[in-house]
Structure 1
Amino acid sequence: MYTRKPVNSCSVFCRHLIVLILLVAPFTQAFAEIQSIPLLTAQQTGSTISYSLSIKIIAVMAILTILPALLITTTAFTRIIIVMSILRQAIGIPNVPSNQIMIGLSLIMTLFVMMPIVQKANDVSIQPYAQGKLSEQQAFESSITLLKTFMMKQTRKSDLKLFTDLSKTKIDSKSDYPLLVLMPAYITSELKTAFEIGFLIFLPFLIIDLVVSSILMSMGMMMLSPMVISLPFKLLFFVLVDGWSLVVTSLISSFRT
């Protein structure tokens, strides 16, 4: 009869340990090489500071993470997407066009509005930095100055005063507004402007709803929804007046660039 020999647990453990060491050894060497790369090195030349490539990569990744928030709080996207949403509700078809189409159209219009600022930032910041004429800090400050100039043109003075008082910041001139004050003031002003434009867009469609509702009431058709009857007339009216072109033209013209 076959008898199984007892397995030495110590020898099994040693074999597993040797295999584990052989597998981990290449990664240990690679990790040691990575640790030898400096994470942050800064070199000061006069009044400018230059950072190492590793910290630049970290900064770029951080900017990409907060890019959607920057798109909403510093560009024309907020006003455009709100007006488009109000237009869709005014017509009476909240799901047409779809959200993807509305966001895509808003992004294209935002790029169209912001293109002069982008081109100017490329001329005065990006290209000089690529040619070595400006440091990272100087290029960043010049780009932020252009963006702040655009935001200042769209922001109401009352909103600026409100957030200046709330932050208890002393402002000497228009160029001295920090982003901590300018960004919330800009968003508040954009919301107010978007709702004003949306109100003007809503009025013609509201009149059509009132006329259709009055006609149905006079005919005694209480059970028939006025929205069902008015929707074709609102679509026909919007197409006849070339509504999309009017809305897009009005939105783009409402920005001061």
Structure 2
Amino acid sequence: MSTSSGTEPVTRPPAGERTSPRGTRLTLRDATLGRPDAPALTGVDIDVAPGEILTVTGPSGCGKSTLLRTLAGLLPPLAGSVEQDGRHVTGPAADRALVFQEDALLPWRTLRANVELPLAIQGVPRAERREQAAAWLDRVGLAAQARQLPHRVSGGQRQRAQLARALAGRPRAVLMDEPFGALDAQTRSGMQDLLVEVLHGTGASVVFVTHDVDEALFLGDRVALLGAGHLTAVRDVPRPRDRAAHGDPARLALRRDVLASLGSSLGT
């Protein structure tokens, strides 16, 4: 699972899984986001390329989650436009999966039944969806826990199951709202590596919201910085998803710039 060499691990799709579609392009054009009585962000222009991992960071209350929910179709923009492959986003869609900090698993369903849920909604036959769910659970290291209810496993294992459920439906975009924020440092690092591993080969575009700068710079091809009601910058990340790059001069310079930007947003 390690990516310290800078080369992403090669993984095979789970047995029985159909070929995943390519990623999708998500675009915000001069968008104002939030509630009518309390806009959170104004003038936002972002273009997420198919297959890209865009991380989003900024101080608490800067609109990170609002941005994600707008891309998901849960919040309409107050002005401007939100598009998927050039078409306006008018509501939620099965090809845009959401992953939250709280695992949101259905407590009365086993882990396998939770992972089967998006496949059942898509009308996948029972035997096929059971095979795919079992393969995804094996892929995230939960084969032995497949029959367990969510309250019987750890928080890290619940997040693994949530990730498997999100990807089992073969989404073209995965929108992640601080999914590892409640985990301890070691578990969080392991989940980051697991995310890189299981995304490999899916082609999915990812928007990953985090308040952790190091997490943003490890995972993202680019990092978007929010602050003071605006998108302040979008920066390319040197050597993304490479554990050995933490001391790279270019990465360290970007980290300093990001922290300085966040400090300015906080008024420090």
Instruction: Sort the TM-score into its range (normalised by shorter chain).
Output: under 0.3
Higher relative contact order (CA 8 A, sep 6+): 2
Q: Which has the higher helix share?
A: 1
Considering fraction of residues, name the structure with more strand: 2
- State TM-score, norm by structure 1: 0.22
TM-score, normalised to structure 2, is: 0.22
